[in-house]
A and B are shown apart, each in its own frame.
Chain A
């Protein structure tokens, strides 16, 4: 058979313009959707039968009932006589309290360690490498249990460790001096946030001006004025007091100050150290992805070190860093659900208690999933927005 033999006539088409491919596609889709629907209907009908047999009514009506479960450590005021709905809200607040603070601390620690791994100091880079390798290769749950055991093994409140004056570490947790925040203080903080927002807009305008004529304009006077001086003035005018409350040992426990319960503290340490090992690797690869020539070129131009880092290296490194960093933030948030293993009452732990008390398994798990899906979508939405802002614009 030669290569230039005449082509066979095209296959006759059924269904007008429709070809075999479209028919096949339709067949597969109908098949897969049919199977999935069949499985869902099967599971659904079983569930309905089982629920009727066990006399469990479905629906979220139970959320209005009295919860009766104690919540030891909560950000929001809670009383066992509150409703299940409020218990869930308290749990969500507890989850967010771990996640937000954990993300901030893990980012700082991870960045420091990632930079240390690149240090010319052999000892520092080796130590950072050992830190990363060890923490990455041991399950988080094991690390969490380990920290929790260590917390419990700390001395009692009377014999608490005092690394710094006013800071106590004991089996009651970590107690720090704190400034009590009431509504007058909130006004000042609110002013500072407003100042920050205004400063952001002014800075954008300044950069736009610079884009037009190329002359750099200093933004720092606005920063000092709006973020420092304005709130300070408000504070003085309103006469807000910023006295630090020092914790005191009274009897068997501490009074005053800020208490981080052992469960919360252990969870925070475990999440921060574990996630920081992953963040360190992301930061390292991000910095290494900037070609060496960029450093050399900037040095040859005699640019200041801070300018070089801020304006040349960091923007390029961030493009590599931001997408995997998003997944680490999501992981940290999801991993905070391990709290259930040591009895810190996050949303998963509270949903689990609810489930055991009321038998409303489907609703409780649906609530957990809804909460985490919302948080995940929120974080990835924000990070995608940020990523789009810093992404390389090519032609």
Chain B
């Protein structure tokens, strides 16, 4: 309980006379404000030092960084005492791009760059205009051309050879791009005065949110072929994409519904008084305000969703996590899976951390107003 009793002490500590060496003063207020606090700090410092030291030993001092092509003997020699980072240069192209034809891998690489540029421009508040929608359509079209090929002299690459980071980004981006309008429609439906539409929306949201994504993915991979007329077969990736869109739609609908509830009643009444139709009222007046209210939780939903695309591993789609898992099946490198997982975790972390920082800055921004 020491921790929670510290809370009210904080201002008292800050009220102490501000004299002496600033470093010592900082240490005293922040680490050694009381005896239990001092003991805690010493213990934490010791544990931290031990942790960092053993990580440095394993990850840097004893690590193997490079080996001659496809030779893991140097790594096996340090097994248990040092990391084998050499597996990353050995396998990174497979982890990032899967089985995409080796000589054509500049195309998925360029697609990844395009995706990142697209995300970057979408975060600029100054660019939140109609043009952004055109930018999205243009970029997604360009990415499709790059990935599939078959035009402009690019060779055709079928979908089952796609893999790695581009697949993760495709599943997440298209999931959001289609899930978002779906979510808006369902959120409006849930707040509609029409009983049939309202109950259908409630049913949809509760059914999707009540079950694990894994079961939706199973459904997409196993049951979808049963649902379709015989002879009509759609690709595995597309089936997973549909499941992910339906999933995203339900979650985003709930976030947007929160935003709709936050729009004051007077705004609706004013729109009605102007004689606007239902759709114009929502498009021009209600939705812009509702969405602005919920931008931070929307970004959080995007993060959750970006991570959840990794679940397609379970139905055998080659996203980033699946390629990582496949890369370490190679018997020569089998024992070095921890290093590969750390590498892939770092990639996921960079995307999610950037988004969460962005959400934080938006929150700070909206708090000022």
A interface residues, Cβ below 8 angstroms from B: 25, 28-29, 32-33, 36, 43, 46-47, 49-51, 53, 112, 115-116, 118-124, 127, 133-134, 136-143, 145-146, 149-150, 153, 287, 295-296, 299, 305, 309, 334-335, 337-338, 340-341, 348, 352, 355, 361-362, 365, 368-369, 372-373, 376-377
Contact = CB atoms under 8 A, between A and B. Distances in A.
Contacts of B6: 118-121
A334 B214 CA distance: 9
B22 interface: no
B352 A136 contact: yes
Interface stretch (B90-98, B101-109, B115-123, B223-231): B223-231
A124 B3 contact: yes
A116 B321 contact: no
Contacts of A296: 8
A319 B355 CA distance: 28
B344 A362 contact: no
B interface, size bucket: 35 or more
B23 interface: no
A116 B196 contact: no
Contacts of A28: 194, 197
Contact of B211 (A123, A146, A372): A372
Q: Is the interface of B mostly helix, strand, loop or mixed?
A: helix
A58 to B, nearest CB: 11
B57 interface: no
Contacts of B193: 25
A146 B341 contact: yes
Interface string B293-333: 00000000001000110110110000001000100000000
Given A334-B211, A348-B215, A46 B226 contact: yes
Interface stretch (B38-46, B65-73, B141-149, B259-267): B38-46
Contacts of B31: 121-123
Contact of B200 (A25, A32, A124, A376): A32
Given A119-B3, A348-B215, A138 B307 contact: yes
B318 to A, nearest CB: 14
A149 B314 CA distance: 17
11 contacts: A32-B189, A43-B227, A49-B230, A115-B3, A119-B3, A137-B307, A140-B307, A142-B321, A338-B311, A369-B211, A373-B207
B10 A120 contact: yes
B353 A122 contact: no
A136 B353 CA distance: 9
Given A25-B194, A145-B325, A361-B222, A118 B3 contact: yes
A120 B7 contact: yes
